[in-house]
Amino acid sequence: MLDIQTKLKRQLEIAGLAIGNAEELRPVDLAALYDCEELTIKRDLGELRGSGIDIHSHKKGGISIDTPMPPRRLKELVAQYLSLCTAQRGVDNAVGLMVRRRGAQALRTAVLLQRCIEKKRIAEIDYLKEGSRRERGREIAPLLLFQSDRYWRVLAINEGRIKQFHLNKIESVRPTRKRFRSVPAPDIEAMFRHSFKSWIGTEEHHIRLRLSPLWSRRLKPRQLFETQVVTEEPDGSLILEATVNSLDEIASWVASRGEGVTVVAPDELRDRVIELAQGTLRNYR
């Protein structure tokens, strides 16, 4: 298995090095870089082409990707490469947490859910809810396994709504013969595009926040939301606009920033922030 991971990592790195190949790297150069035969590199190039990447070795210019990859494909490759790198160093905290909580059942849970995703089969799960309450036999239509906020989760349809479940809280999975109609990939991508921390849903809320000059200096270099638009004000403050799918998460984030981050719109978000702040104050009365 380690050899397969090493090979895949090498091939992804070759694809990365071929993007803007200013050094004009050739197969012989990569063979020296990876301490392998030149024929191995040529096989790597062939397998990359087989996976849909238009990569070639030219007499002039060296190895290059002749047809630009679409953003969706690039995201897949970057995610795959980073996953391989972190797994090799053993720093995947989400996987480590799941294995510590569920033991060998962690692998069984992941495999059964993934098979249900691929076969479009409904699964029955026993789920550990808050307060150690167990819900048995809940039917879900699993759509995607993903990692967010240090947890592995499954995005699923349950009772007509898109929900997410922590894998380390799923005690058992039982695939059924019932089939379901999956959600189109672009719709799932839209859910993630509008997510903030960990909540993935179908709602869309347009928000406007004002960041004081202090907070603008702290947060200006960061991309908080994929859809964000930032406008700089004359006084050094920023107006941040974005589309999100959970007002509760944004309200919690704004309240935790303290002074300097205020809600301009919508009013519903402002009311939730005030409610959270008042609740915190009541703890100290």
- Mean pLDDT computed over every residue of the chain: 86
* Mean pLDDT computed over 162-184: 92
d(CA 243, CA 195): 9
DSSP 8-state symbol, 21: -
239: exposed, middle or buried (C-beta count within 10 Å: 0-12, 13-18, 19+)?
middle
Question: Is the pTM for the entire model greater than 0.75?
Answer: no
195-205 pLDDT, tens digit per residue, is 776 677 778 89
Task: Among 3-17, 91-105, 243-257, name the one with the lowest average pLDDT.
Answer: 91-105
Answer whether CATH 1.25.60.10 is correct for domain 2-88.
no
Residue 6 has pLDDT above 90, yes or no: no
Considering only residues 246 and 2, tell me which one the structure prediction assigns the higher pLDDT. Answer: 246
Residue 90's pLDDT is 42
* Mean pLDDT computed over 200-221: 85
Considering only residues 10 and 199, tell me which one the structure prediction assigns the higher pLDDT. Answer: 10
Q: Are 259 and 210 in contact (CB under 8 A)?
A: no
d(CA 124, CA 175): 6
* Mean pLDDT computed over 111-115: 91
39-63 pLDDT, tens digit per residue, is 999 999 999 999 889 999 998 888 9
The fold for domain 95-183 equals SH3 type barrels. (2.30.30)
Q: Hey, which of 79-83, 99-103, 143-147, 201-205 has the most confident mean pLDDT?
A: 143-147
- Domain spans of the chain? 2-88, 95-183, 205-282
Q: Are 83 and 146 in contact (CB under 8 A)?
A: no
76-93 pLDDT, tens digit per residue, is 888 778 777 655 444 466
